[in-house]
Structure 1
Amino acid sequence: MDSASFAKAGAIVTGIDLTPRSIELATKQFEIYGLKGEFFVADAENLPFPEESFDIVYSFGVLHHTPNIRKAIDEIYRVLKPGGQVLIMLYNKDSVFFLWDIVFLERIIHGNLLRESIEDRLSRIEYTTSGAKPLVRVYTRKEARKLFCKFRNVNVKVFQLKKDDISIPFIEKLVKQAISDKLVYSLSRHLGWNLFIRGTK
C-alpha cells in the first residue's frame, strides 16, 4: 500500500476511496503499523477538502476508472497548494497490451470484433469478486498532457512491460527466448502499459 510507505517516510497522509470497506482496511493497516493518517469515503470528482490543502496529490491506477476525469483533475488542482505536485498513473493506449493483446489478438485474430466492444473488454482487465464491470479508459501521452494542461512542467513517462505481455500465438516461447531483458526495458519506455504523469501547480 503506497500510502503506508509515504507515512513511514514521514508524510502526513490523507486518503480517500469510494468504498467504506477500503477505508476500513486502510485505517486498520495504519493502526497495525502505528502509522498516522486520515481516510475518508469520498468521490475524486468532488473532493471534501478546502482549496490549497495538500503539497502532493498521488493516485496510482484510479483516475482511469473515473466517469469524468477532467472534473477529477480540476479537483486535484483546486486542493493542491501553489507549487504542489501531482503524481498520477493512467493506462497507456499506445501500449503493447492494448494495441496487440486487446485490439489485434483478441478482437481481430480471435474474432471478438463484433461480439464485444473495446469498453467491455477493457472492463475485464480489472478483477472484481462481485462480477462487476468497472469503467476502464486508456490514454495516449498527448491526451494525458492535455488533461493536465493547467499544470506546469508536466512530464509523462511510460513504463511497465514484461516478456509475458508479448504474446504471439504458436511461437510465443521462441519469441520470449529471443527477446533480451534490455530490449524489453527499452520497449517499456515507449510501449509500456502505464503512463506516469507528474506536474506542478
Structure 2
Amino acid sequence: MGFREKYAKLGERYERIDGPLERFFDPLRRKAAGYVAGRVLEVGVGTGFMLPHYPRDIELHAIDAVPEMVEVAKERAEEIGLNARFYVMDAEKLEFPSGSFDTVLSAFVFCTVPDPERAMAEIHRVLKPGGRVILLEHTKSDCRLLNWLFLKPLDVLLGLLLEDNTLRETHLLARKYFEIEHEESHYRGIVRLIVGRKG
C-alpha cells in the first residue's frame, strides 16, 4: 500500500495524528505564510493546516495527490472564507505551464513525496523567473545522536503508517535548484524553514 492509499484511509482522522504537533508547527506555518505573495501554489495542501495563515490578497492554488485530503481542505477553505482553487495532482507532475506562479510553498510534504528530486524540479519549472519557493519541512537533524535516538525510530513508525521519511535532506536538495535567501533550523534541524529564489 502506497502513501496515497494510506492517507486516503486516514482521511479526516489524519488531523488526530498530526493535530497535537500543530502547537509546535503553527508559529512556523504563520511565518512561512508571511513570505508568500502574488499567484501562489501550495504543493501538498493535505487537510489544509496552512490555509488559515495565508494573506487574503493572494491568488491561491493548492494541490494534493490524495482526493480525500483535497475535499477536507476545500471544506476548511469554505469555513474560513478563503478563496482558493484545489486540484488533485502529484507534486512530481504539476499540470501547470512553466512560469505560472510568483510563489510556491510546501509544508511537511517532501518527507512523503516518492521522488523529491523530480518534485523540486517541477516547483522550479512552474515558478516565474525571480519567483520564490518556501519550504517548511522535516529534515535530517544536524545532530547524529538525535537522528539515531529519535528520528530513526520515528522514521520506521511513520514509514509503516504513512510512507513518511523523516531523514531526508530537503535543505540540501533545495540548494541545487534555488538561490537560498533565508534558512532557519528548528529543533536541531528536525524542522527547517527555507526561502529560495529562482534565478
Q: Same fold (TM over 0.5)?
A: yes
1:104–1:58 CA distance, 2 compared to 1 (3 A): same
State the structure with more CA Rg: 1
CA displacement at 1:17 relative to structure 2: 0.9
Counterpart residue number, 1:149:
176
Q: Matched residue of 1:63: which SS?
A: coil
2:164 is matched with which residue? Answer: 135
**1:1-201 matched pairs, under 5 angstroms:** 1-6=49-54, 8-95=55-142, 99-100=144-145, 103-104=148-149, 118=152, 121-125=154-158, 132-140=161-169, 144-159=171-186, 161=187, 191-201=188-198
- Give the C-alpha shift of residue 5 in structure 1: 2.1
Cα distance in 1, alignment partners of residues 82 and 162 from structure 2: 34
Question: In 1, distance between residues paired with 2:81 and 2:141?
Answer: 41
Match of 1:103, as an amino acid? W
Paired residues of 1:90 and 1:139 also in contact (CA < 8 A)? no
Counterpart CA distance in 2 for 1:24 and 1:105 is 33
Q: Deviations over 1:59-109 (max 9, x none)?
A: 11111211211100000000001111100122232256xx44551479xxx
The gaps in structure 1 that reach 5 residues or longer are: 107-117, 162-190
1:35 and 1:146, CA in 2 relative to 1: closer, same or farther beyond 3 A?
Answer: closer
SS in 1 for 2:123: helix
Structure 2: how far apart are the matches of 1:158 and 1:34?
A: 33
Unpaired segments of 5 or more residues in structure 2? 1-48
Do the aligned partners of 1:123 and 1:133 also contact (CA within 8 Å) in 2? no
Identity %, equivalent residues: 27
Provide TM-score, normalisation by structure 1. Answer: 0.65
Higher relative contact order (CA 8 A, sep 6+): 1
* Residues 12 and 37, structure 1, Cα contact 8 Å, conserved in 2: yes
Q: CA deviation at 1:57?
A: 0.5
Compute the displacement of 1:135 (Å): 3.1
C-alpha distance 147-67 of structure 1, shift in aligned 2 (>3 A): same
Q: Aligned in 2, Cα 1:105/1:89: closer, same or farther, shift over 3 Å?
A: closer
Q: TM-score, normalised by structure 2?
A: 0.65
Distance in structure 2 (CA, Å) of the matches to 1:94 and 1:101: 7
Distance 1:47 1:100, change over 3 A: same
SS at match of 1:39: strand
Distance 1:198 1:151, change over 3 A: same
User: In the alignment, residue 190 of structure 2 is paired with which amino acid?
Assistant: W
Provide the secondary structure at the position in 2 that maps to 1:62.
coil
Contact 1:145/1:156, CA 8 A, preserved across alignment: no
SS in 1 for 2:71: helix
Aligned to 2:41: none
Q: Are 2:139 and 2:171, in contact at CA under 8 Å, matched by a contact in 1?
A: no
